[in-house]
A and B are shown apart, each in its own frame.
Chain A
């Protein structure tokens, strides 16, 4: 029997935009099972990133419930949400956002330091993660000394640092050329094959096609694949 790692029920998210209210999500109900690889696709402004932010506990829904790894996260305090993200969720962003003054190894070890993992252990784990993403020989390099594809792989290793239940990626191939993008797609497939649950928001057809399941969104609603 499979188990839902993400469970959203009638989730709405409204924004105030001047005097107007924007309904970014209009009653989304969605389940993602542990070990799944889901691509959320749809036109710009359809609410994909808003949905990802709610699942990543960096935003709160206006109404509805969000449950991640069996925990209600929609009404968490900032402190609870921060701790939850640290231990349960890995983020990969379009622009990598590595700390420029830290080496690749230090960037990967950063979330572990925040989780108070012992120095020796985090060095070893960070080195293993860098080897996993194919950057064993780039440990001491700073982000400015790495290519875009290498930086994204460091960002993926960082997202895996604390062994999250869920890996969320927002347009992870958006800043990469086709060949490097293909390497990242292949890495995601390998990660999913090794048991990591992945949710990816993308416009990239190749990345979306690589996922096991595709969810289509339009105007703040899931129109297909829920």
Chain B
């Protein structure tokens, strides 16, 4: 039974792995309500340091489309903050705080003024700072000469959690205009990414096509295309999950078949007597198949608990991969996944019981009784 439970746990984990990352990524994308993302032509958001020039012009073009509700240009950069004689570095997003979809405010307020910055807990910890403290923040640092460029004094106005932030990543956000000014002339009117909300009921794919036609230097990515791209990148995980899931199912099938066969062999006399007293072959098969299903079901229930514990443990390990958003889960429990695993196990339980059951019910009654008497 423990073996069946382990196979069931493994199967559940693999079903969770096969669908979990995709679903977790989809939830992450839809969580802030931006249906489209615009990256520099041929890139994915924040895949490279490339930026899109002409933020004002692009914004103006997009505003002409009534299906576009909100536009949030985002500029990404690195920041350096001197603390004593060491340099604390991190990433910063220049955003419009009124329409941004990159962070969630935990305490304090948004960086509404030009000298405001909001930071995540990890950066606060690295700096040994708190909300209300003043920081000297630079966008450039030369480690040879230990000199900073694009320096400005900013006040921490809030504690935030970055939606797409990775584990142990120092991150901050400020007004895009502030970041542009800090980075200097060549970064004016540029964005690393646009996040776009479409009107309710509008077809996001149509808006995406329209944007790519109107603004040729951007790649517009809808949630569907982003998921498709993630799917392509995660195909290795899915294949691995499918193979291991199939192996688990097969092992479970073999274990149930073995258990049912052993049980049937031990009860050959009992089965022969049932047939002798007039129990039909179909009913004998039904009883034995039910046993297989019961074993599978009990194994599945035990395996559910075991699978959830192991999935949680493995998820903690895998989620600590550098560069992955903390909100991404490798193993995501979805009732549908659990039902799928249970259904597969029940079907395999039926399959596992049918052969030994049919064999047992088809044995010659008199011969079975004679063997039993000799035994």
Pick from B280, B364, B365, B373: contact of A94, CB below 8 A: B373
Q: A59-B365, A97-B269 are in contact. Are A82 and B370 (CB under 8 A)?
A: no
Q: Is A39 engaged at the interface, CB distance under 8 Å to the other chain?
A: no
B residues within 8 A CB of A90?
277
Q: Is B243 engaged at the interface, CB distance under 8 Å to the other chain?
A: no
Q: Is A215 engaged at the interface, CB distance under 8 Å to the other chain?
A: no
CA distance in complex: A86, B283 (Å):
13
Stretch at the interface among A110-118, A127-135, A144-152, A186-194: A110-118
CA distance in complex: A94, B375 (Å):
13
CB of B280 within 8 A of CB of A99, answer no
B residues within 8 A CB of A213?
none
Interface residues of A in 31-54 (CB under 8 A from B): 49-50, 53
Secondary structure type dominating chain B contacts: helix
Q: Is B276 engaged at the interface, CB distance under 8 Å to the other chain?
A: yes
- A99 and chain B: residue at smallest CB distance: B270
Minimal beta-carbon separation of B282 from chain A (angstroms): 9
Q: Is B106 engaged at the interface, CB distance under 8 Å to the other chain?
A: no
Q: Is B161 engaged at the interface, CB distance under 8 Å to the other chain?
A: no
Q: Is A87 engaged at the interface, CB distance under 8 Å to the other chain?
A: yes
Pick from A53, A114, A170: contact of B278, CB below 8 A: A114
- B368 and chain A: residue at smallest CB distance: A58
CB of A111 within 8 A of CB of B269, answer no
CA distance in complex: A90, B303 (Å):
45
A residues within 8 A CB of B278?
82-83, 85-87, 89, 111, 114-115, 162
CB of B276 within 8 A of CB of A58, answer yes
A residues within 8 A CB of B274?
99
CA distance in complex: A197, B75 (Å):
99
Q: Is B129 engaged at the interface, CB distance under 8 Å to the other chain?
A: no
CB of B281 within 8 A of CB of A78, answer yes
Q: Which residues of A contact B (CB under 8 A)?
A: 49-50, 53, 56, 58-59, 78-79, 82-83, 85-87, 89-91, 93-95, 97, 99, 110-111, 114-115, 158-159, 162, 170
Q: Which residues of B contact A (CB under 8 A)?
A: 269-270, 273-281, 283, 364-366, 369-370, 372-373
Q: Can you identify 17 A-B contacts, CB atoms within 8 angstroms?
A: A50-B366, A58-B276, A59-B364, A59-B366, A78-B281, A82-B280, A89-B278, A90-B277, A91-B276, A91-B277, A93-B273, A94-B373, A95-B372, A99-B270, A111-B278, A159-B277, A162-B278
In the complex, besides A49-B373, A79-B281, A87-B278, 5 extra interface pairs with C-beta distance below 8 angstroms are A59-B365, A91-B276, A114-B280, A114-B283, A115-B278
